[in-house]
Amino acid sequence: MNTRRLPNPISLPERAGMPQLWVPEEAPEEPQVVEDLMDPSSVSDSTLVPHLAALERVTAIERMLCASEQAPSALSRLPALRTLLDGCLDRAIGLQAQGVTPLVLLLRVVSWLRLDDGLRRDFYLDYTRRLALALHGALGFFGGSLRPQETLAALEAWSRWDGLGAAFKRGRPEFASSLQGALRSARFSPGESVRVLAAIAAVRAEQCPTWAPCATVVERLGATVTRAAASLTDDELVLGLGAPRGLSWPYYQCIASVMRDLLLEAARRARLAGQAAAASGPAAAVAVGLAAAEAFHRPTAERLRQAVAVEGGLAV
């Protein structure tokens, strides 16, 4: 395949639906073309992190542009990408000075790929096993600590694996316990807290139902979100109100008041949107939140529906 057909990570404009990326401080966005990204000789110890950050942008954009297709990622078919990933993993393992950042970025790169059956899938399953072992080993070496942004980045990557959970027994990678520990001490912004809650729910729903972060972590994240509900974007409201669908009832109880606050905020915004409310982001957030509540507890959903009707004047 000609790599020139792949999207340039810098030339594509930001737009609605753009996936959340992780750009470490040491990886400023600089123009790079895809041909350069696929060239192993362009990677050095000093350029590894920015190179991987740009590569994640390419894989994420490809996933976004082909969201409606079920075909395997064009990138995953490239022998050049597999060669590059192998070399980057070896280099990342040897770069102790850069901590776990390169390994987390590699985790995010492969998490965007949609795989097919056959040898390519076998490669990525084996690669993910080796990557998870390397990350687990690095976390042990560095005292089992992750920066909050690294914790969020790794958790989001795990939450969207396309079949890569088959690489592990019961879908649980070796670094799962490290993420669980990191969440206990990490502090996140309100927007980040929404993403963490959504990622936790997605991991439990899609990847590893037995993975159970501490309920107090979920409660603390919820408290951070509810204190800043008015500052959240419409997209963050939708994400936050949809998160409970992957949680169990005890977790939902921890954040039930948070869901109410977010629903009322979404209803208030929908009311302010006036005639355009039916097609607005806040109205979509209300629908998502009520559907999640309905899945857990019908009486709770009914009380929330009544509160939304009073706050936003919405017929829901």
Taking only the tens place, the pLDDT of each residue in 46-76 is 999 999 999 999 898 888 887 766 778 888 8
Return the structure tokens found at 105. Answer: 């970025």
How many residues make up the chain in this entry? 316
Quick one: pLDDT at residue 5? 38
Quick one: pLDDT at residue 26? 56
Q: Give the DSSP H/E element, type plus range, for residue 272.
A: helix 256-273
Tell me what percent of the residues of the chain surpass a pLDDT of 70: 82
Which residue has better confidence, 274 or 179? 179
Region 251-274: what's the mean pLDDT? 84
For 60, 98, 262, 296, 314, the CA distances from 157, given in Å and listed in that order, are 11, 20, 25, 26, 36
Place of tokens 């009520």: 290
3-state secondary structure of 29: coil
The model's pTM is 0.83
Region 71-91: what's the mean pLDDT? 91
Quick one: pLDDT at residue 277? 52
For residue 32, pLDDT over 60 is answered with no
Quick one: pLDDT at residue 23? 59
Rounded Cα gap, residues 289 and 250, in angstroms: 17
Tell me which DSSP letter residue 114 carries: P
The amino acid at 210: T
